[in-house]
């Protein structure tokens, strides 16, 4: 089975600049506040927050996985793009590699669209169901929508 790629677009009423800042630049503090039961913390293990930085995300009780490490592969603050790869934990028992590419695009109404491309490369003998892919899409969309709700409830962030 080859790589599984899916693209998703999620609209928001939040400006692209504010969403990128909250979701990417301040994500280590904002995301655990927006999803306190799902993500208990994000810790920088190596690096300064730029390309090559290694982070550890710890998940809450009831999560399938305890934690995941990821590496920042790309960060462009001017064009609101961010790429990262899972390097340890999470679903790497089934996948050879997992990477995410995010671009937040401004819309004419002052909001934005989060364009997310996820690339999963299964291990040789792994079988991945449509349900698993759908669940992954729903989690990604849910995180973005929770950050949006947090920003709407906390406009001074």
- Mean predicted confidence (pLDDT) in 119-130: 80
CA distance 52 to 132: 29
Convert the pLDDT of each residue in 48-87 to its tens digit: 999 999 999 999 888 888 999 999 999 999 999 999 999 9
- Per-residue pLDDT of 6-52, as tens digits, reads 899 999 999 999 999 999 999 999 999 999 999 999 999 999 999 99
Residue 66 is part of a domain; what is its CATH number?
3.30.530.20
The number of domains in the chain is 1
Is pLDDT above 70 for 1? no
pTM score: 0.90
Instruction: Compute the distance between CA of residue 32 and CA of residue 40 in angstroms, rounded to an integer.
Output: 6
Q: Domain limits at 47?
A: 4-153
């Amino acid at each position: 089975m080859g790589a599984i790629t899916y693209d998703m677009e999620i609209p928001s009423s939040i400006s692209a600049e504010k969403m990128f800042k909250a979701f990417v630049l301040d994500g280590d503090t904002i995301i655990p506040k927006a999803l306190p039961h799902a993500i208990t913390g994000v810790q920088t293990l190596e690096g300064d927050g730029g390309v090559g930085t290694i982070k550890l995300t710890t998940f809450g009780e009831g999560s399938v996985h305890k934690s995941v490490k990821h590496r920042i592969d790309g960060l462009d603050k001017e064009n609101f793009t961010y790429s990262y790869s899972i390097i340890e934990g999470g679903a790497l028992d089934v996948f050879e590699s997992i990477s995410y590419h995010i671009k937040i695009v401004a819309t004419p109404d002052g909001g934005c669209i989060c364009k997310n491309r996820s690339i999963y490369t299964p291990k040789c003998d792994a079988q991945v169901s449509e349900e698993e892919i759908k669940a992954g899409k729903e989690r990604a969309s849910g995180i973005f929508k929770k950050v949006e709700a947090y920003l709407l409830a906390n406009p001074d962030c």
